[in-house]
Amino acid sequence: MARSGSHSAPAGPGRAELRQKLLAAGQEHVLERMARLDSLQRERLRAELERLDFELLSELVGQLKVAAGAGAGRFEPPRIFPSQPSGAFREEAHRARAVGLNLLRSGAVGFVLVAGGQASRLGFEAPKGTFPIGPVSQCSLFEFHARRLRAAARRHGVRTPWYVMTSPANDADTRAFFARHAFFGLDPADVFFFAQDMLPALDEHGRVLFSAPDALFLAPNGHGGCLLGLARSGALSDMRARGIAQLSYFQVDNPLARPADPLFLGLHAGARAGMSSKVVAKRDAAEKVGVLGRVDGNLACIEYSDLPAELREAREPGGELRFRAGNIAVHALSVDFVAELTQDGLDLPWHLARKKLKVVEADGTVGERRGIKFETFIFDALAR
């Protein structure tokens, strides 16, 4: 089990110590690159290397040597509570709504938005949350979510603290966008920004790659890194001070998310769960979406490609898909659970994304290299 951190470390080493750290980590190519740089570039790269967490780098390199699992395990569908309960579910839903309403009215719920991405795939070079999704109003994704939080605040007579995860690439632009729009009517004191960590990408031999002659190739540490960011940024301490016990987690590109859902929050709290997930039924067996299920008894998100074809097609007696709980990245988490997971770093496994990356070589040429990015996924916390 990996405990992920950031690429940043405390106080930087001296030059001789930095050299020894690079040699010990098998990063001799970095020293060769530095010898080619001019003095200004060399200082910029040295400053970045001095912030590098070499202990974490060794952990990432070690992940390249970990053999793939020996099998997918035994798959079972999860217990699903219907959004429109009937029969035996109706009484349980009534109790859960009461619990959820009490949580909301007592100000015990905080709201976590993951918004670290850019809208490049939409042809919009800006933070994804600034994308004008309203077809007539041109309302941005951020404003859609803010309006729901304002409505919840009015409905329940409380403040709705909002913890917004950005990335180093869009943090400044996101903060400026909120300021230009007067925080969409929310009290700025109730909006807490924090940036997710970035990790060095490696080649297949475990050597760090570069995005510029004097800059490491860094990539986000995945949406699981949101939990670590909450702990390291002081957001968890802010939650404790506010009396927040439960978190409603959603992603910026889902304008249909209902963050203040009393039924979902009540079911989560009533079960004394560390983490719960909201799902939607798959449209058909061929829809390429991960589904929640049990793998060897542990709750998990099962990727579409990992679910055998016969299970993807399997049906219940009533005709619905047996594995139909499509993951939509809407979760509820207890603050205590997040604190426990992040006590000594982030206690989640690594996922390796192998892809072609545009890198800058030591001679200054730009080309493509087979590289590896490292991520953690928040849904892996379901197994805890």
In the chain, how many domains are there? Answer: 1
User: pLDDT at position 121, please?
Assistant: 87
Q: Which of 42, 46, 60, 52 is nearest to 10 (CA)?
A: 52
Enter the DSSP assignment of 118: B
Enumerate residues 6+ apart whose C-beta is below 8 A from 50.
Answer: 9, 12, 13, 18
User: pLDDT at position 10, please?
Assistant: 43
User: pLDDT at position 72, please?
Assistant: 60
Task: For residue 359, give the 3-state DSSP assignment.
Answer: strand
CA 304 to chain CA centroid, nearest Å:
19
For 103-142, b where at least 16 C-beta lie within 10 A, e where not — what string? bbeebbbbbbbbbbbbbeeeeeebbbbbbebeeeeebbbb
User: pLDDT at position 11, please?
Assistant: 45
Predicted TM-score of the model (pTM): 0.92
Cα separation of 51 and 39, whole Å? Answer: 19
Tell me the pLDDT tens digit for each residue of 101-152. 999 999 999 999 999 999 988 899 999 999 999 999 999 999 999 999 999 9
Question: Is the backbone of residue 107 left (phi > 0), alpha (psi -120 to 50) or beta?
Answer: left
Enumerate residues 6+ apart whose C-beta is below 8 A from 218.
Answer: 7, 168, 198, 199, 200, 201, 211
Residue 54 belongs to domain spanning: 3-383
Amino acid at 181: H
Cα separation of 193 and 188, whole Å? Answer: 10
Q: Which of 327, 300, 306, 307 is nearest to 384 (CA)?
A: 300
Residue with tokens 């760090």: 208
Cα separation of 361 and 367, whole Å? Answer: 7
% of the chain exceeding 90 in pLDDT? 90
Question: Is the backbone of residue 329 left (phi > 0), alpha (psi -120 to 50) or beta?
Answer: left
Helices (H), the chain: 15-24, 28-36, 39-50, 54-63, 88-105, 141-156, 171-180, 225-232, 235-242, 262-270, 309-313, 335-341
CATH of the domain at 93: 3.90.550.10
Angle formed at CA 265 by CA 264 and CA 269, multiple of 5 degrees: 120
pLDDT beneath 70, residues of the chain: 1-13, 67-72
Cα separation of 200 and 304, whole Å? Answer: 28
Answer yes or no: are the C-beta atoms of 361 and 367 closer than 8 Å.
yes
CA 14 to chain CA centroid, nearest Å:
34
15-24 vs 28-36: helix crossing angle, rounded to 10: 130
In the numeric block, which tokens belong to residue 333? Answer: 């988490």
Enumerate residues 6+ apart whose C-beta is below 8 A from 165.
Answer: 112, 113, 114, 115, 116, 194, 195, 196, 226, 229
User: pLDDT at position 290, please?
Assistant: 96
DSSP β-bridge partners for residue 330 = 278
User: pLDDT at position 8, please?
Assistant: 47
User: pLDDT at position 13, please?
Assistant: 55
